[in-house]
Structure 1
């Protein structure tokens, strides 16, 4: 399947596939009580981020990602479906991490846990478990992430358009940033596309609607947000209509850019 998303009905039909692994992409605490039957907890903040770096939700080292994925019983041949409790929020980040580590068979559950529950999908209580160790092996693709120096160089080279997923009031410096010490505004020349605009009721908009609202469909794109999570929501929206075109995530996003007073901003 070329598409980055699957439906609740697809997941129900494939629950018995022995290669299927369902991941509950946890970002918030305290943890929730229920999850999709058979799901395993994918802890973005604590297990699948580089916690030695002060910025939140930073890309983990491939070796660390490999080890944590193996602990979840994930193998090279696993077919992975990731979801989150909000419908579409943190699951695209988990999807993008696997893609960047060279694992192609991964999809986001459109509508997430709310859609699964609404359609009567089986549930289980969240309980810490251990699994037979998998043989997952990360094959990291560094071109899928950009650092602040590459984003800075892009201001001159204009190789790509930066798409910022934050709300318009944050983008235009009409409100204070939620993180202390951050300047308000945006990366010069960036384009604002609040991630909420590509979603409706926890689902992605239909492809025809996305084609009408997504800007700069004919250019290379770098995706940014507050801390690298919601940037991935917008990236998947483009992936739904522009499969395999060059895209990358600015991992530090506004948390890094807004903290560094040597970097230029616009308001």
Structure 2
């Protein structure tokens, strides 16, 4: 895989590339009034999740994803930069979705909207827009996705290490889960890497600092969190230091695992 992030200066220098598409990765549309000039709203919860499944942010079917991507004017050759308003939060999920659908030319804007605005680069008010339909095609990479049965099998097979992005108090069952009805604790044998540890001021830590703090850098990794969003932050952090080891998202994450009393937990 290519380096998964770009800087705001890189985006400014390439802003007029006709193949470039900028996506504002939102979780609750419309959540804000301003966006990077020319950006298009990438509605994770309502357009790019499988809303027929009673879990948040679930990976959509490839054809459904492709249909919505084409509506945004995205094509097979589009160069996509995704960002969010928190710096780094929901944009890695959008990056992961495109990667899992086989689109390689996608990057996360390091620092997101706050870094862009701080530099004084062009912004505009969010408004409804329509676009010429693109020819995007989805080619689903099943190896980037894991379900609860695969994660359960992994407890005994130990094919991969599960990296849990939740806070330490949630991981260690020292506080109740924010979602009602979920048990406290973590998947057996999982390792806790709170996503906040790989970030500073809305940016990813430099590569050398990530190398010092991230465990199990030479092993296959499954990434989990509360609902499939912040797991993608950790995946990118590992991608920044090593893109050779297989990495996958456990999409159901703790929202699914924590409510299924047939699944084991540790505290």
TM-score, shorter chain, exceeding 0.5: yes
Following superposition, the deviation at residue 2 of structure 1 comes to 2.1
| Deviation of 1:236 (Å) | 0.2
* Displacement of 1:244: 3.3
Aligned counterparts, 1:125-204, within 5 A? 125-204=125-204
Cα deviation, residue 29, structure 1 = 4.9
Mapped partners of 1:134, 1:206: distance in 2: 35
CA separation in 2, counterparts of 1:196 and 1:119?
24
Within 2, Cα distance between the matches of 1:11 and 1:29? Answer: 24
For the 8 Å contact 2:93–2:230, the answer to whether it is kept is yes
Normalising by structure 2, report the TM-score. Answer: 0.99
Which residue matches 2:232? 232
**Cα distance in 1, alignment partners of residues 106 and 189 from structure 2:** 32
Measure the CA separation in 2 of the matches of 1:33 and 1:98.
25
- Counterpart for residue 104 of structure 2: 104
Q: Which runs of 5+ in 2 are unaligned?
A: none
RMSD: 0.8
Q: CA deviation at 1:30?
A: 4.9
Is 2:88–2:110's contact at 8 Å kept on the other side of the alignment? yes
1:49 aligns to what?
A: 49
Aligned pair count reads 267
The answer for unaligned runs of 5 or more in structure 1 is none
Q: Distance in 1 between matches of 2:27 and 2:115?
A: 19
Q: Equivalences for 1:1-267 in 2 at 5 Å?
A: 2-267=2-267
Secondary structure of residue in 1 paired with 2:258: helix
Q: Are the equivalent residues in 1 in contact too, given 2:184–2:258 (CA < 8 A)?
A: yes
Q: What is the distance in 2 between the residues matched to 1:244 and 1:45?
A: 30
**TM-superposition CA deviations, 1:151-171 (whole Å, max 9, x none):** 000000000000000000000
Between the aligned partners of 2:207 and 2:184, the Cα distance in structure 1 is: 33
How big is the shift at 1:31?
A: 1.7
Find the aligned partners of 1:5 and 1:244 in 2 and give their Cα distance. 17
